[in-house]
Amino acid sequence: MKKFFATAFLALATCVMVACGGKTNQTDKDMTKLTFNERQAAAMAVIACHEARGDQSSLTGAIHEGFEAGLTANQMKEALSQLYAYTGFPRSLNALGTLKNVMEQRGDVEKGPESSPLPSGYDALKQGTEVQTKLSGQPFNYDFCPAEDYYLKAHLFGDIFARNLLTYADRELVTVSALSGLEGVMPQLTAHVRGALNMGVTDEQLAAIPEALKAVGLESEALRCQAAIAAVKGQPQVVSPSSFPLGQPNDAYAKYFIGQSYLAVLDTVSGLCNVTFEPCCRNNWHIHHAAVQHLVCVSGRGWYQEWGKEPVELKPGTVVTVPAGTKHWHGAAADSWMQHLAYYTDQKATYRTEWLEPVDDEQYNALGR
């Protein structure tokens, strides 16, 4: 059975190579070096992220930029076909269709060389196991599902990574950029940030990925990538847990908070703001005089509590109306970031906020996780 799968995967890889064109690149290259220049790496990062997001309109512009940066059609084709293993066939096929359309629109584009043919007697499982071990930094065996373990080794890290048009470092840049565009895959994103470093991507090249995403307006994707990089490096993680902007550190009110908060003013006319709390962060007890405050939780989990009442758990979609003159506090749960929108109604000319005592650790910890 294993021999059958190995033969099938080798045939699939060969078919992909033939379908992408007849030219081959026989030149040996260092597979642990990024082959893109700075502009090309930025373009490829944006292309991969838009592929993962499924945004074909934005992907079209990114592909045009890729050509302008000097990426070849076959480099982009190789990256987009690789991503089926990370984002699924539907997104990969849609993205390849968009690339095909752009190539037809542009007419004369540089197709570039193809990958070298796989050698006779190529052992996908053996090669893939070696590549996966280097990427992970140690042997990795997914014993819970042996079939999945085989697919990872023989197909993804064997057949696909063996194609030498892109180096291992190139492919990890593509993977990190794509996973940054997906929610709910932080363990995999963090693992591939570590893998990118193991495969030769430098700290500077890795840090350039979120900067490239941020430059085209992919703010939450950039922050997600930065959080994964920070986790790998053991640094504090700062990430907007939703598509709402993180804003700036809320330094003006820091003395009224325990922990770090961030403030993004969304509308200066209405005063609508997005407030982000890191885990364990909460504001002091306080009172809004002569105004009604409204809180709308948009991401994460946290708490709201009025004086003398039981706490209310904040989850996405939870709406809280704080009557004028009510003593209260709000903040994140101990194990989660939390974001809420905040705005006021019935605000009188005499409006002011009266800041009171902190919510002490004993009181806060009694809430649980």
What's the CATH number where 21 sits?
1.20.1290.10
Per-residue burial over 328-344, b = 16 or more CB atoms within 10 Å of its CB, e = otherwise: bbbbbbbebbbbbbbbb
CA-closest candidate to residue 189, choices 144, 235, 227, 148: 227
Nearest by Cα to 164 from 198, 195, 127: 127
Do 211 and 62 share a structural domain?
yes
Query: 118 and 48: one domain?
Result: yes
Same domain, 188 and 84: yes
Question: For residue 199, is it within any domain?
Answer: yes
- Is 266:274 a contact under the CB 8 Å cutoff? yes
Cβ pair 206, 193 in contact under 8 A: yes
Q: Which residues of the chain have pLDDT under 50?
A: 1-27
Query: Cα–Cα distance between 317 and 48 in angstroms, integer?
Result: 31
Q: Is residue 243 part of a domain?
A: no
Q: Which two tokens stand for residue 165?
A: 């048009």
Please report whether residue 103 resides in a domain. Answer: yes
Tokens matching residue 219: 């703010």
Residues 224 and 280 in one domain: no
Which residues form the domain of 267? 248-365
Q: Is residue 340 part of a domain?
A: yes
Q: What is the pLDDT of residue 17?
A: 39
CATH number of the CATH domain containing 266: 2.60.120.10
The residue assigned the tokens 């065996």 is 141
- On whether both 70 and 195 belong to a single domain, the answer is yes
CA distance 54 to 363: 45
Contact 276/339 with Cβ under 8 angstroms?
Answer: yes
Asked whether residue 261 falls in the same domain as residue 286, the answer is: yes
The residue among 199, 233, 267 that closes a domain is 233
Q: Considering 174, 202, 233, which residue would you say is the last residue of a domain?
A: 233
* Residue 296, strand partner residues: 319, 341
CA distances to 50, 72, 114 from 43, in Å? 11, 12, 20
Number of domains comprising the chain: 2
- Say if 153 falls within a structural domain: yes
- Among the three residues 233, 268, 294, which one is the final residue of a domain in this structure? 233
36 lies in the same domain as 87: yes
Positive or negative torsion for Cα 24, 29, 32, 36? negative
pLDDT value at residue 11? 41
Is the domain of 109 the same as that of 69?
yes
Q: Please report the pLDDT score of residue 246 as a whole number.
A: 83
Asked if residue 115 is part of any domain, the answer here is yes
d(CA 338, CA 219): 17
Would you state the pLDDT for residue 235? Answer: 72
- Run of H or E including 8: helix 2-19
CA distance 94 to 51: 8
Two structure tokens written together for 226: 């930065």
On whether both 160 and 229 belong to a single domain, the answer is yes
DSSP H or E segment with residue 269: none
Are residues 201 and 67 part of one domain? Answer: yes
Same domain, 29 and 89: yes
Task: Give the per-residue pLDDT at 20.
Answer: 40
Is 20 within a domain? yes
Neighbours of 184 (CB within 10 A): 7
Instruction: Clarify whether residues 269 and 187 are in a common domain.
Output: no
